[in-house]
């Protein structure tokens, strides 16, 4: 069992060292060592760019907290609105892009 307090979470850019990150994320389960899944709070600011397509083993669930988010999986775009969720095989190339002008927030859960 682990409790991660909001004040203790680290806010990191998706691409350290890049001038303009696509989004910032905070681990919701660090410092648990032997995780069976990983959960993140992600924010896509108004100036953020589309993420680079990436893939990894396992599956991913995205729950949209605020705004609209376009998720591209293997070249097919799906727009999520507030309160909507999406499950997909993260072995396919996927990317994210904020829709609209407001900061977008999402909960992302990834299986190892």
Query: What's 50's domain CATH number?
Result: 2.60.120.10
**DSSP secondary structure code for residue 50 in this structure:** P
Dihedral of the alpha carbons of 88, 90, 95, 97, in degrees to the nearest 10: 40
- Residue 71 falls within a domain, yes or no? yes
Residues 46, 94: Cα–Cα separation, whole Å: 20
Radius of gyration, alpha carbons of the chain = 14
- Residue 45 falls within a domain, yes or no? yes
pLDDT at position 45 = 85
**Tally of domains within the chain:** 1
102's torsion region: left (phi>0), alpha (psi -120 to 50) or beta? beta
- Residue 99 falls within a domain, yes or no? yes
- Residue 19 falls within a domain, yes or no? no
pLDDT at position 48 = 76
Average pLDDT by consecutive 10-residue portion of the chain (112 residues)? Answer: 84 74 84 86 84 91 96 95 97 92 93 82
pLDDT at position 7 = 87
- Residue 39 falls within a domain, yes or no? yes
Domain ranges, residue 44: 25-111
- Residue 4 falls within a domain, yes or no? no
- Residue 7 falls within a domain, yes or no? no
pLDDT at position 93 = 96
DSSP 3-state of 8: helix
pLDDT at position 18 = 67
- Residue 56 falls within a domain, yes or no? yes
Residues 75, 63: Cα–Cα separation, whole Å: 20
- CB 37, CB 111: distance < 8 Å: yes
Can you read off the two tokens belonging to residue 92? Answer: 């396919």
């Amino acid at each position: 069992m682990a409790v991660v307090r909001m004040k203790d979470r680290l806010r990191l850019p998706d691409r350290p060292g890049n001038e303009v990150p696509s989004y910032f994320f905070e681990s919701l389960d660090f410092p648990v060592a032997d995780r069976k899944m990983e959960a993140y709070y992600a924010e896509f600011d108004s100036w953020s760019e589309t993420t680079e397509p990436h893939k990894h083993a396992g599956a991913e669930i995205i729950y949209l907290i605020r705004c609209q988010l376009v998720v591209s999986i293997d070249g097919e775009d799906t727009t999520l609105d507030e309160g909507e969720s999406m499950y997909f095989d993260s072995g396919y190339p996927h990317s994210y892009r904020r829709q609209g002008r407001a900061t977008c927030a999402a909960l992302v859960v990834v299986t190892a």
